[in-house]
Structure 1
């Protein structure tokens, strides 16, 4: 028999494509979770519309109505607790959380970042990677701590940077991988398999080992002339 579903709260400030990936995988049974609240700080956020279309509880808390970050975070925490949220998933939520929020959900806040952390933290990560000239970009799901994109890493996906890439085409391919790894990280949490040990997140029991590497550009074939 399946365990009780994990109760999620999803926070987003933008279009909500990662929210949509979570909605879809919840409905497909890929992750044993349900969304108890979709919360945004922007009334016109596409994420709120996606939540409403999915029949989910939604809430907008306009951060401009609060005198400080702590006041906003207290209101957000209260709403999430009222919704019975056990795990908070940040999905393009463009606000730095204060200790008020972090202490309310210790080791129960995940974030998706469009870079291979610890490289390129903060905003415009895809642009930073593209302009730097990296050969591998990607995305990271990590636990949230009191730094900016500094928390323990759960899962990453690498995306080769092609010679004819633009910032936009690279960002689109990274986003496609975000939609794959975020639900995976949530399911691992729901299964109770994520154990934080200092900077490392161990998956217990471990995933099947695979001896492989992604190289860009790829090495020459042994039979190449």
Structure 2
């Protein structure tokens, strides 16, 4: 059975490219990248989608009188493309409750920090400023909070004494490109079960 995937983006789309690459390589099977939706008209992620024949849609948040109207359009677009799983890949807006209710436990986000530490923007910068010795990234299901949903997968990287925000973010990004496709694969294979705050991994 094919899983239709919708990807929400705001920027260059490096995680989108990683997902595309994992589809092309055959690592991700029985999925279809049905639509890429951006809230930014000139986001390069939309161009990436077009290069691979994926439907690319810009939805202008300023064209709606309210956030609810904007998000109703997102929901309608996802439904138009029969989306089963929603991925946030560098999407820079906080999803409202309407979208979350429509796709409960079917929205995944990748965050450049080891949650629950360093939520919100600039995870690598926060990690350096705090002085942690280990940083990393997290794939989680999205709930009504900010980076607070049930954790699916995490990956660690060591923080070096000479790290800058850029060098640390680059190493974290490498791990994002590894674990986001892995989480998608587990979902599409029916191996994830959400039990409260805990995501259980089934062995089929």
TM-score bracket for the superposition, by shorter chain length: over 0.9
TM-score (normalizing by structure 2): 0.98
Q: Pick from 146, 164, 167: which aligns with 1:166? A: 164
Q: What's 1:198 paired with?
A: 196
3-state DSSP of counterpart to 1:106: coil
Q: What's 1:114 paired with?
A: 112
Of the two, which has the highest radius of gyration? 1
Q: Pick from 36, 39, 42: which aligns with 2:40? A: 42
Distance, in Å, in 2 between the alignment partners of 1:165 and 1:107 is 35
Q: What's 2:18 paired with?
A: 21
- Gaps spanning 5+ residues in structure 2: where? none
CA RMSD of aligned residues (A): 0.9
Equivalences for residues 126-145 of structure 1 within 5 A: 126-145=124-143
Q: How many residue pairs align between the two structures?
A: 203
Distance, in Å, in 2 between the alignment partners of 1:148 and 1:205 is 30
1:62 CA displacement: 1.0
- Gaps spanning 5+ residues in structure 1: where? 207-225
TM-score (normalizing by structure 1): 0.89
3-state DSSP of counterpart to 2:4: strand
**Per-residue CA distance 1:126-152 (angstroms, 9 max, x = gap):** 111111111000000000000000000
Distance, in Å, in 2 between the alignment partners of 1:110 and 1:175 is 16
Q: What's 1:59 paired with?
A: 57
1:64 CA displacement: 1.2
Could you list the structure 1 runs, at least 4 aligned residues long, displaced by more than 3 angstroms after superposition.
Answer: none
